[in-house]
Amino acid sequence: MASKPDQDQLDYRAIIEQVPAIVSIAQTGADGRWLYVNGWIERILGYSVEEWLATPTVQRPFHPEDADWVIAEERRIETEAPDEEFVGEYRMLHRDGHAVWLRDTGKLITDANGRRRWYAVLYDISEQRTSAEELERQSAAQAAVAQLGEHALERIAIDELLNEACAAAARVLAVEMTAVVQVGIDQDSLDLRATWCALAIEPLLHVPSIDPGSQIGVALRTGRPSVIEDWRLESTLRRGAGMANADARSSVCVRIEGHEVPWGCFEVISSRPRAFTSTDVSFIQSLANVLADAIERQASEDAIEHRSLHDALTGLPNRTLFADRLDQAFERLRRRGNSLASILFIDVDHFKQVNDALGHQAGDELLISIAQRLREAVRPTDTVARRSGDEFVVLLEEIISERDAITTAERIAAGFARPFVLGAGTHFVTASIGIALADGYMSATELLENADTAMYRAKERGRARYELFDEDMRVRAMARMRIESDLARALDHGELRLAYQPVIELSNEAMYGVEALLRWDHPTRGPIPPSEFIPVAEESGLIERIGRWVIEEALHHAARWAQMRPDAAPLRMGINISTHQLQSPRFPEMLAEYMASAGVAENVVHIEFPERVLLDDAEPVRRALRQLSEIGVALVLDDFGTGESSISHLIDLPLRTLKIDRTYVAALTTERRESQVARALIAMGQALSLRVIGEGVETAQQAIALRQLGCQAVQGFLYSPAVPAAEITALLGAGARVTRTLG
């Protein structure tokens, strides 16, 4: 423009300045420069006319996505089609960084000097473009939210959902980075759970402490979305390490709600300034809400599952989960074949005693500490479970030999050696442990039963110890199981009956009373002695029903025999009672009811119990015994001399009679040491003013010796074995005398 502008040209310029568009004239080619630009350059792109004119045309502030194609198209027209018009829509970046959509119509015009120049008009079409884009984005946003919701309903894993949300937000909003962060259990730290990132940055995985003045801090606290259009203009919020790391220029942060406290945040970050619209923000919030619902549901499902598989008190796996782990262990065992698995069955000794004496609260505390000590005694890969009450099981996998199982049992025992500090005080507790080993050929149930059997052996052998399951135990366990299942039917099938053994008064050899003894005529195995089936009945709990039947049956006969001889002293009825029955708090009451309904006087009934009932859970048993004595029932200590009771146990019990066990009676007429013990036992009974009955008297010499020592009564084969009720009836009819002429 060397020539001086004339009046006409100036007018044109004035008009051109009025056109609401950028109007420019420029040289062609890669090194082209601006010849003219009107003032709208500043209104539309923020650059002053001087600034604009000072930069080469190739350095126009194109949006990075548009620069290449625009320049290529210009070059094409310049070299190949100079008559073609350039028409295109593209973005340039405003001086402040935001994108501006322009419609460019340019034409090559040859000037007076014969040089081609670009004459261009650029309209700002941002508004049109954004509203079209906005519409498109809105429907994409709706589709994304709907799809995420659908996937959430399909129970897709939470981490997958988080990733999907990140990708969807990045795609729909065309931002460089999105992230989901979760608040730690400490309520202070943040962990990155998912991210979508187009930038080459290392995302920040963990923030140890939430800055309350950061965008996340604010969003978490207020629950309102926080939108920053340009971090460079932000003066109140701090950008924080995560945002700085991502070089954020603009960002949105919304809260993901949680059950009681916020779960975390959803962040959308752009490296350019950006005015997020309210639609954008509500889209981000919708994604966050779908995530919150899915997380919440998953958490409650997890909680339900956890509850159904764990013991509420100790938090240990329960029976169901243990069974599952056991099955899995067996599968692995069969596949690998070169290792062993072992189960330790652990039963707390005298737990009931602690529970009764200290209360359930203390009992619970004890179980919780036991659970903890068990966990400490095993490897992290081993399973410790609570089976029931005071029974625990440990599953050891991949062990080499039984030595490993024994070592663990010893560690467990060592754990019990330390006192348990409970709210109610410090207590020592022991445990009985049964160990069983399995190879791939055994069933899981078998293994568990074997460990259980071994645990019983440990109990039998005095508790506070472990026992290893062996073949001998297996045979006995099988027999016991068979008895148990047969016994369950025996009562209903009338296979049980009572036999009565006369108790003879030594002074006149008259039948003073009888002892009711249970008999089982097994349909195929013949008679089974009480010593074999009564312990089984006690263990299985069947003793309760059987015991009630014994009482009813014995009282029925006692009443009949009393009616036979209304003037004579009634025949005493000895009934054997096991520990289990005495532990039932209703027992004395129940017996009184039965006596009343059978019409039997209180002094007729003699309750026989062995010494060992005084050892386990002594207090409730003693209470029951005292109550029985109060209603007039006589208490007879059976098998005296075989148990471990001390004299002090006997002194404060309202005992009436001692029965000297037949092993001492048998020893009486020999030179054996037991003979001396027998004498001492009888003397002890006398010293306590108790009636003493000798059991199992088989010879006249034994009867004579007993009489000399001051024993009042005897029973035994010398006079009569236990006989059917009819024989007792006959004996009563004949005067009730069973003379053996002792001389």
Q: Residue 235 touches which of ligand C2E, Mg ion, none (CB < 5 to 8 A by kind)?
A: none
Task: Map residues 545-564 to x or -, x wherever contact with ligand C2E holds by CB under 6 A.
Answer: -----x--------------
Of the candidate residues 531, 648, 689, 741, the single one contacting ligand C2E (CB under 6 A) = 531
Strand 572-576 to strand 605-610: parallel, antiparallel, or no bridges (unpaired)? parallel
The rounded distance, in Å, linking the Cα atoms of 607 and 591 is 10
**CB-nearer residue toward ligand C2E: 170 or 682:** 682
Q: Residue 257 touches which of ligand C2E, Mg ion, none (CB < 5 to 8 A by kind)?
A: none
Of the candidate residues 419, 529, 710, 735, the single one contacting ligand C2E (CB under 6 A) = 529
Task: Map residues 487-506 to x or -, x wherever contact with ligand C2E holds by CB under 6 A.
Answer: --------------x-----
**CB-nearer residue toward ligand C2E: 242 or 716:** 716
With contact defined as beta carbons under 8 Å apart, do 170 and 178 qualify? yes
Helix H, strand E, coil C: the string for 675-730 is HHHHHHHHHHHHHCCCEEEECCCCCHHHHHHHHHHCCCEECCCCCCCCECHHHHHH
Query: What would the two tokens of residue 245 be?
Result: 């790391």
Interface with ligand C2E by CB under 6 A: which range of 143-151, 439-447, 574-582, 735-743?
574-582
Identity of the residue numbered 6: D
Of the candidate residues 251, 285, 342, 576, the single one contacting ligand C2E (CB under 6 A) = 576
Q: How far is the CB of 579 from ligand C2E (least distance, A)?
A: 9
Q: How far is the CB of 532 from ligand C2E (least distance, A)?
A: 9
Among all chains, which residue has been given the structure tokens 């069973």?
738
Q: Which of residues 638-667 bind ligand C2E (CB under 6 A)?
A: 638-639, 662
Q: Which of residues 553-592 bind Mg ion (CB under 5 A)?
A: 576
CA 413 to chain centroid, in Å, comes to 24
Which residues are within 8 A (CB) of 254 and not within 5 positions of it... i.e. 6 or more apart? 219, 225, 226, 265, 266, 281, 284, 285, 288
Q: How far is the CB of 649 from ligand C2E (least distance, A)?
A: 18
Check binding of 608 to Mg ion (CB under 5 A): yes
**CB-nearer residue toward ligand C2E: 59 or 531:** 531
Beta bridge pairs of residue 526? 522
- Opening angle at CA 393, ends 471 and 307, nearest 5: 150
Burial of 59 (0-12, 13-18, 19+ CB in 10 A): exposed
**CB-nearer residue toward ligand C2E: 315 or 724:** 724
Q: How far is the CB of 488 from Mg ion (least distance, A)?
A: 24
Of the candidate residues 369, 383, 578, 712, the single one contacting ligand C2E (CB under 6 A) = 578
**CB-nearer residue toward ligand C2E: 365 or 608:** 608
Q: At what angle do helices 543-564 and 530-540 cross, to 10 degrees?
A: 120
Of the candidate residues 223, 530, 585, 599, the single one contacting ligand C2E (CB under 6 A) = 530
Interface with ligand C2E by CB under 6 A: which range of 61-69, 380-388, 393-401, 712-720?
712-720
Check binding of 342 to Mg ion (CB under 5 A): no
Q: Residue 696 touches which of ligand C2E, Mg ion, none (CB < 5 to 8 A by kind)?
A: ligand C2E
| 641: region left, alpha or beta (phi > 0 left; psi from -120 to 50 alpha) | left
State the residue number with the nearest CB to ligand C2E. 716
What kind and span of H or E run contains 220? helix 215-222
Of the candidate residues 104, 365, 390, 639, the single one contacting Mg ion (CB under 5 A) = 639
Identity of the residue numbered 112: A
**CB-nearer residue toward ligand C2E: 228 or 666:** 666
**CB-nearer residue toward ligand C2E: 588 or 716:** 716
Q: Which of residues 685-704 bind Mg ion (CB under 5 A)?
A: 695
Interface with ligand C2E by CB under 6 A: which range of 53-61, 173-181, 447-455, 527-535?
527-535
Q: How many CB atoms lie within 10 A of CB 35?
A: 16
Q: How far is the CB of 722 from ligand C2E (least distance, A)?
A: 5
**CB-nearer residue toward ligand C2E: 534 or 667:** 534
**CB-nearer residue toward ligand C2E: 176 or 608:** 608
Interface with ligand C2E by CB under 6 A: which range of 409-417, 455-463, 530-538, 612-620?
530-538
Q: How far is the CB of 312 from ligand C2E (least distance, A)?
A: 36
**CB-nearer residue toward ligand C2E: 517 or 598:** 517
Q: How far is the CB of 358 from ligand C2E (least distance, A)?
A: 29
**CB-nearer residue toward ligand C2E: 46 or 643:** 643
Q: How far is the CB of 715 from Mg ion (least distance, A)?
A: 9
With contact defined as beta carbons under 8 Å apart, do 708 and 700 qualify? no
- Please state, in angstroms and as integers, the Cα–Cα distance from residue 697 to each residue in 531, 716, 731, following that order: 19, 4, 19
| 34: region left, alpha or beta (phi > 0 left; psi from -120 to 50 alpha) | beta
The rounded distance, in Å, linking the Cα atoms of 533 and 556 is 24
- The stretches of 259-347 forming alpha helices (DSSP H) are 278-309, 319-336
Of the candidate residues 496, 722, 725, 728, the single one contacting ligand C2E (CB under 6 A) = 722
Check binding of 611 to ligand C2E (CB under 6 A): no
Q: How far is the CB of 370 from Mg ion (least distance, A)?
A: 37
Strand 634-640 to strand 391-399: parallel, antiparallel, or no bridges (unpaired)? unpaired
Q: How far is the CB of 734 from ligand C2E (least distance, A)?
A: 21
What kind and span of H or E run contains 116? strand 116-124
| Residue among 133, 125, 120 at smallest CA distance from 100 | 125
Q: Residue 698 touches which of Mg ion, ligand C2E, none (CB < 5 to 8 A by kind)?
A: ligand C2E
Check binding of 698 to ligand C2E (CB under 6 A): yes
Beta bridge pairs of residue 634? 606
Q: Residue 716 touches which of Mg ion, ligand C2E, none (CB < 5 to 8 A by kind)?
A: ligand C2E
CA atoms within 13 A on the CB side of 18: 6
The rounded distance, in Å, linking the Cα atoms of 112 and 116 is 10
Strand 116-124 to strand 264-270: parallel, antiparallel, or no bridges (unpaired)? unpaired
Ranges of beta strands (E only) in 161-249 are 177-183, 190-197, 206-207, 226-228
What kind and span of H or E run contains 75? helix 67-80
Of the candidate residues 716, 728, 731, 736, the single one contacting ligand C2E (CB under 6 A) = 716
Of the candidate residues 577, 621, 711, 731, the single one contacting ligand C2E (CB under 6 A) = 577
Q: How far is the CB of 710 from ligand C2E (least distance, A)?
A: 20
- Collapsing DSSP to helix, strand or coil, 637 comes out as strand
Of the candidate residues 350, 638, 664, 693, the single one contacting Mg ion (CB under 5 A) = 638
Of the candidate residues 26, 517, 628, 681, the single one contacting ligand C2E (CB under 6 A) = 517
- Please state, in angstroms and as integers, the Cα–Cα distance from residue 689 to each residue in 310, 520, 651, 654, 710, following that order: 56, 37, 11, 11, 11
Check binding of 702 to ligand C2E (CB under 6 A): no
Among all chains, which residue has been given the structure tokens 């969003």?
219
**Please, what is the end-to-end C-alpha distance for the chain in angstroms?**
162
What is the full DSSP assignment across 126-174? HHHHHHHHHHHHHHHHHHHHHHHHHHHHTT--HHHHHHHHHHHHHHHHT
Q: How far is the CB of 690 from Mg ion (least distance, A)?
A: 15
The rounded distance, in Å, linking the Cα atoms of 537 and 666 is 29
Q: How far is the CB of 406 from Mg ion (least distance, A)?
A: 38
> Which residues contribute to the site for ligand C2E (CB under 6 A)?
501, 517-518, 529-531, 534, 550, 576-578, 608, 638-639, 662, 695-698, 715-717, 722
Residues that bind Mg ion (CB under 5 A): 576, 608, 638-639, 695
